[in-house]
Amino acid sequence: MTSNEQRIVCAANRYGAVIVCGARHFDMVMHGVLGKLFCDAEHAQDCEQGFIDNSGKFHNRYEAFKIAEAAGQIRHKTGGPEPRLYSEDLY
């Protein structure tokens, strides 16, 4: 891997301009942050799920799949035949 190679580094949910990161979508880390940001669980679910790369840029599941695939990060494909990335694909 070269130092400038784009890689996916963690799961992320985007709420407008706010991005909440964690090892997996809605894991304990995300739940902790969401509990501080939103007072109701219904609002906390209103997000776009995706991932961030090693430069901190948010990517939806389709964009993230292409990046992870090009970087050789996909250990095993889960979640169906479509080219969408799931955190389980990475580890």
SS (H, E, C) 8-62: EEEEEEEECCEEEEECCCCCHHHHHHHHHHCCCHHHHCCCEEEEEECCCCEEEHH
Q: Is residue 20 part of a domain?
A: yes
Higher pLDDT, 72 or 38: 72
Q: Is residue 1 part of a domain?
A: no
Domain count, the chain: 1
Q: pTM of this prediction?
A: 0.85
- Answer whether residue 67 shows pLDDT above 60: yes
Q: Read off the pLDDT of residues 20-51 as tens digits, 9 standing for 90 and up.
A: 999 998 889 888 888 888 766 666 667 899 99
Q: What is the pLDDT of residue 48?
A: 92
Q: Is residue 3 part of a domain?
A: no
3-state secondary structure of 74: coil
- Answer whether residue 5 shows pLDDT above 70: yes
- Domain boundaries, position 31: 8-90
Q: Is residue 2 part of a domain?
A: no
